[in-house]
Chain A
Amino acid sequence: MNRISLSRRGFLTSACCLAAAPVFTPVTFAAMPGDNRFVTIVLRGAMDGLDLVQPYGDAGFAALRPTLALTPDTGLLDLDGHFGFNPAAADLMPLWKSRELAFVHAVSTPYRDQRSHFDGQDMLESGGEHVAEEKTGWLNRALAVIPRSDARKAIDVNTSTELILSGPNDVDVWASDSNLAPARDEMQFLTRLYAGDPPFAAALAEATRADTASMMVEPDGQRGEKTADVAALAANMLKGDYRIASFSITGWDTHIGQAGQFKRPVQDLAQAINTLKATLGAEIWTKTVVLAMTEFGRTARQNGSAGTDHGTGGCALLAGGAINGGRILGGWPGIGDGQLLDDRDLMPTADVRELAAAMLYRQFDVGVDDLTGKIFPGLGFDKGSQFLRG
């Protein structure tokens, strides 16, 4: 703690910091070594899993995607002799080789047919069987049933709340470059101003908590809004007493000229994961699972403008020192004649919610009944899940 400078925040040492005090103290920090961490990254816009992890060993893949399909001869990074990595993700190769990275192919939510981003994201984040069935996020509902109360602290690194973490349980929402900075005597007036308005009172308390914690972990650091800044803030909060963090990476909606457009979000994703690992440090990284997932995959065939349209089966990514990676998980359905959904999309062979449930089970001992009843209603999940072996 003594490295933490409060110089930027005279107010923290004054009376107004009472509200923030319980958040971050040497006692709570010291009391929790060994706790697991869980990071979800929502890849908004429908990531093309067939471009990131290309089934170059499947006969016919090249024909489906005349200008998008690569082979090891044209730059694809071979993973296992059948699948290969898009070269834009080269920065993730070290993690793959150290078996701290895995891909789960052909997963999706129960969402079919309509292929709307917004409904797809609703399903992915709310965890229900149908659109708008659940009004809150599954990660928020999970907070209520995590057995250890000190693991129930979550941060959403964003300017506005994401559905995945919204709901009745306390979650702090904080952008990587936010700053509350109340004047010395402003806080008590704001507290009075919001006393009769619960959502505003809650927002002020949240701002105070998150601001204090983010200042504690990066007292004088220059914080920005780039993916690396977002990931670094998330990691720093997880080094404190937050146990769950979520953020998003956008830019995956590649309807046109995909070969060029796909690079930036892939590089963002690689940078986010590498930043998480570097910032968390070796010890915490071994207790961490990162789950990156997207609302659905894209069409198996490239479209008329060298891009892809909205599809169904997609790809999720697992990373962390706690996983048994270096593998492509999930059931591969193939992409040949008769193997595609609607003769168009990669056929989903598993529910991405089962993957999420497995990670909650493994990181926080969330009970099976809670997973299939409260968090993911209607989901089939048991301790024999293939993803628990992952």
Chain B
Amino acid sequence: MSLSFPTMAAIRFGYGFRPGEAPPQNKDDLIGQLSKGAAATPDFPLGGPETRHRAILSLQEQLKQIRQDAKSVTDDTTRREMRNGVQRQAQQQFQHDVNLRLMQAVLSPYGFYERLATFWTDHFSTSANKSLPMRLIVPLYEAEAIRPFMSGRFGDLLRSATAHPAMLIYLDQADSLGPDSAGGIKRNKGLNENLGRELLELHTLGAGSGYSQADVTAAAMVLTGLTIDRKEMDIAFRPNISQPGTHEVLGVSYGGRRRSRDDYLDMLDDLAIHPKTAAHISRKLAVHFISDQPDEGMVSDMAAAWKQTDGDLTAVYTAMLGHPAAWQNEGAKSRQPFDYVVAGLRALNAGPVNGVVGSFLAANQQGTDEGDMAANTPGMAGSPVTTDPAGEGRDRRLKAFRTARALGQGALKRMGQPTWLPPSPAGFEEGFSAWITGSQLAERLAWARRATAQFGRDEDPREFLKSTLADAARDETIRVVSQAPNKFSGLTLVLASPEFNRR
């Protein structure tokens, strides 16, 4: 082992050190986080899942009302204003959720669990940009369809992610009908193969693994029937829009004279334990956590664990952590922007209970912003309460809110990794060279300056370096930091150092 176990565990498998928090001491500590993390309710969506379900329905209702009202309104400006109000509400809720998710990663003692949540949410990418309701649905998706299933069987995770409204909307499954089904004929609509394709290419077997266009089309046919109940904004299975007959995917027939939910569930289960799925996802995990060119022995150990356990993910993670390559060649990966920002806030998060960063961000959940905050959202379930709409207190909160946004989502957007807004169904870029560029470095420097100015008042750069990087700090970094011309410059250099940007 090149570095101490806790350092490797904190930086490679978590979001870095947080002062006052003990890093994992052994592999059992890391694996133990899985059940503890799953048992804790995520901080998002704002107000909890039940409240969010109601908020989604309420948004649907408002949109419907606007569409109805719009029929009698001829003035374009009025029509736009009606829609803008609802848009602003949804956008605000989204901003709050983004902030909550960031805080959770900063404050959670279960770094490995949090990193896995980021990995799987990215693996099963959905984007909040797809439609207005998706601003409210995507945070719920991570909370209820991804996080609870990350340590069990992959097949269960695949089922929960595939059949969540977020996925059905994002990959257009809600609009796919069997062309020869009764419903398809009646509505003169037919197949949309988007989800069928990404299911094989991205979510299970992997691109270039040998499936054909016929498999894609057949998988899309098997999936017909799986759709959304728009009234309830919940998943539904409707046999009358299922393409009749049997459909062969990778040599296995699904369906029959009567189509049922079991057809697509059987297909997902078969795909989940397919050896190509095991190989594809084991490799992807190893690439994400350890190296762009992972040790082949490690990948095959993971795939073997997958095979032995029918895709038990805890067994797969255990195989990864159990391989010597997991603990060698530190710093081969670059921290992605979310990882970088979270690690930076964790490093700066000294202080009691939630630390200065936690208190700051929490306070700003109740902040206010012109035309952008809770004061404009009467009756929105789950919205934070706003008091004192005017005066000095308001100005102070406004400034603080803007700073928080600049350090959080604003920075992530500029760095190219805005939360829940991946550029494509394939998720965010993974490789080192995608993230370590001139542009990226400029953004990270700007962030480091701003974050240390905000939170670095009580820090000594030399102590900060120790508590932040421990034995990962190189001699040259220790020298440069200790010679920095002033305190903030020294703190910035720690966050700008290659060690802090690598993992």
Q: A115-B197, A182-B445 are in contact. Are A175 and B439 (CB under 8 A)?
A: yes
Does A28 have its Cβ within 8 Å of any Cβ on chain B? no
Establish whether residues A309 and B193, one from each chain, have CB atoms under 8 Å apart when the complex forms.
Answer: yes
Q: Which residues of B contact A203 (CB under 8 A)?
A: 436-438, 440-441
Q: Bound complex: CA of A309 vs CA of B219, how far in Å? A: 14
Does A119 have its Cβ within 8 Å of any Cβ on chain B? yes
Does B352 have its Cβ within 8 Å of any Cβ on chain A? no
Q: Which residues of A contact B437 (CB under 8 A)?
A: 159-161, 173, 203, 206
Q: Which residues of B contact A194 (CB under 8 A)?
A: 498
Establish whether residues B432 and A180, one from each chain, have CB atoms under 8 Å apart when the complex forms.
Answer: no
Establish whether residues B213 and A115, one from each chain, have CB atoms under 8 Å apart when the complex forms.
Answer: yes
Establish whether residues A304 and B416, one from each chain, have CB atoms under 8 Å apart when the complex forms.
Answer: no
Establish whether residues A209 and B480, one from each chain, have CB atoms under 8 Å apart when the complex forms.
Answer: no
Min Cβ gap B205→A in Å is 11
Q: Which residues of B contact A200 (CB under 8 A)?
A: 436, 441, 498, 501
Name A's interface SS. Answer: loop
Name the contact of B208 in the complex, choosing from A114, A197, A304 (C-beta under 8 A). Answer: A114
Q: Which residues of A contact B192 (CB under 8 A)?
A: 255-256, 303-305, 307, 309
Establish whether residues A255 and B172, one from each chain, have CB atoms under 8 Å apart when the complex forms.
Answer: yes
Q: A177-B414, A256-B172 are in contact. Are A193 and B442 (CB under 8 A)?
A: no
Q: Bound complex: CA of A180 vs CA of B439, how far in Å? A: 8
Q: Which residues of B contact A159 (CB under 8 A)?
A: 414-416, 437, 439-440, 443
Q: Which A-chain residue is minimally distant from B193 (CB atoms)?
A: A309
Does B308 have its Cβ within 8 Å of any Cβ on chain A? no
Determine, out of A142-150, A184-192, A264-272, A323-331, the stretch whose residues face the partner at the interface. A184-192
Establish whether residues A305 and B175, one from each chain, have CB atoms under 8 Å apart when the complex forms.
Answer: yes
Q: Bound complex: CA of A183 vs CA of B437, how far in Å? A: 20
Interface centre among B179, B190, B440, B483 (most CB of A within 10 A): B440
Establish whether residues A196 and B476, one from each chain, have CB atoms under 8 Å apart when the complex forms.
Answer: yes
Does A29 have its Cβ within 8 Å of any Cβ on chain B? no
Does A73 have its Cβ within 8 Å of any Cβ on chain B? no
Does A181 have its Cβ within 8 Å of any Cβ on chain B? yes
Establish whether residues B489 and A189, one from each chain, have CB atoms under 8 Å apart when the complex forms.
Answer: yes
Establish whether residues A199 and B175, one from each chain, have CB atoms under 8 Å apart when the complex forms.
Answer: no
Establish whether residues B189 and A193, one from each chain, have CB atoms under 8 Å apart when the complex forms.
Answer: no
Does B158 have its Cβ within 8 Å of any Cβ on chain A? no
Q: Which residues of A contact B424 (CB under 8 A)?
A: 44-45, 117-118, 250, 253
Q: Which residues of B contact A166 (CB under 8 A)?
A: 433
Does B317 have its Cβ within 8 Å of any Cβ on chain A? no
Establish whether residues B191 and A304, one from each chain, have CB atoms under 8 Å apart when the complex forms.
Answer: yes
Min Cβ gap A297→B in Å is 14
Establish whether residues A305 and B172, one from each chain, have CB atoms under 8 Å apart when the complex forms.
Answer: yes
Q: A255-B192, A303-B192 are in contact. Are A178 and B443 (CB under 8 A)?
A: yes
Does A32 have its Cβ within 8 Å of any Cβ on chain B? no
Q: Bound complex: CA of A250 vs CA of B421, how far in Å? A: 14
Min Cβ gap B363→A in Å is 29
Q: A160-B437, A210-B439 are in contact. Are A304 and B194 (CB under 8 A)?
A: no
Does B318 have its Cβ within 8 Å of any Cβ on chain A? no
Q: Bound complex: CA of A303 vs CA of B194, how far in Å? A: 10
Min Cβ gap B100→A in Å is 25
Does A241 have its Cβ within 8 Å of any Cβ on chain B? no
Does A342 have its Cβ within 8 Å of any Cβ on chain B? yes
The 8 A CB mask of A95-135 against B (1 = contact, 0 = none) is 00000000000000000011111110000000000011000
Q: Which A-chain residue is minimally distant from B207 (CB atoms)?
A: A116
Q: Which residues of A contact B359 (CB under 8 A)?
A: none
Does A354 have its Cβ within 8 Å of any Cβ on chain B? no
Q: Which residues of A contact B184 (CB under 8 A)?
A: 304
Q: Bound complex: CA of A158 vs CA of B442, how far in Å? A: 13
Does B163 have its Cβ within 8 Å of any Cβ on chain A? no
- From 69 to 95 in chain B, residues with beta carbon under 8 angstroms from any chain A beta carbon are none
Q: A186-B489, A203-B440 are in contact. Are A181 and B446 (CB under 8 A)?
A: yes
Min Cβ gap B408→A in Å is 17
Q: Which residues of A contact B201 (CB under 8 A)?
A: 114, 116, 118
Q: Bound complex: CA of A23 vs CA of B398, how far in Å? A: 41
Establish whether residues B438 and A160, one from each chain, have CB atoms under 8 Å apart when the complex forms.
Answer: no
Establish whether residues A207 and B442, one from each chain, have CB atoms under 8 Å apart when the complex forms.
Answer: yes
Q: Bound complex: CA of A174 vs CA of B442, how far in Å? A: 9
Establish whether residues B207 and A305, one from each chain, have CB atoms under 8 Å apart when the complex forms.
Answer: no
Establish whether residues A173 and B191, one from each chain, have CB atoms under 8 Å apart when the complex forms.
Answer: no
- From 196 to 239 in chain A, residues with beta carbon under 8 angstroms from any chain B beta carbon are 196-197, 199-200, 203-211
Q: Bound complex: CA of A117 vs CA of B177, how far in Å? A: 23
Does B429 have its Cβ within 8 Å of any Cβ on chain A? yes
- From 54 to 113 in chain B, residues with beta carbon under 8 angstroms from any chain A beta carbon are none
Does A78 have its Cβ within 8 Å of any Cβ on chain B? no
Min Cβ gap A296→B in Å is 12
Q: What residues of chain A have their CB less than 8 Å away from a CB belonging to chain B?
A: 44-45, 113-119, 131-132, 158-161, 166, 172-175, 177-183, 185-186, 189-190, 192-197, 199-200, 203-211, 250, 253, 255-256, 303-305, 307, 309-310, 342, 344
- 19 further A-B pairs in the complex, CB-CB below 8 A; given A116-B201, A173-B439, A178-B439: A115-B213, A119-B207, A161-B434, A181-B446, A189-B484, A190-B496, A192-B476, A193-B477, A195-B476, A200-B436, A203-B437, A207-B441, A250-B423, A303-B190, A304-B179, A304-B184, A309-B192, A310-B193, A344-B213
Listed by A's residue number, 16 A-B pairs whose Cβ atoms lie within 8 Å are A44-B423, A44-B424, A113-B212, A115-B216, A117-B425, A131-B207, A159-B437, A180-B442, A185-B489, A195-B476, A200-B436, A204-B441, A303-B192, A305-B172, A305-B177, A309-B193
